[in-house]
Amino acid sequence: MITRTLGLGLLVVAALATSACATVRPQERAIQADPTMVYDGEPHETATVQHAVDNREGSIGGSGVSGGGCGCN
């Protein structure tokens, strides 16, 4: 059931993605470039926090797939 829901979600995403168009002109992108609006703007601090949190939960996702060992005692 969850797999079907995820599949449907991905289909919707693909439809939206293919219909996406330039909505913001380059000269309007100043705020999007502000460090508070950037995704993964502080990757080192985020990775350190995520490493500690992920090792104490039974789930993963949304934070990249770089690998690099366990460290999970």
* Biggest CA-to-CA distance, the chain: 49
Q: What is the DSSP letter of 20?
A: -
Which residues bind to another protein, rule: CB under 8 A? 2-3, 6, 9-10, 13, 17, 20-26, 28-32, 34-37, 39, 42, 44-45, 47-49, 51-53, 55-62, 64-71, 73
At closest approach, how far in Å is the CB of 64 from another protein? Answer: 6
At closest approach, how far in Å is the CB of 6 from another protein? Answer: 6
Cβ atoms within 10 Å of 47's Cβ, excluding its own: 15
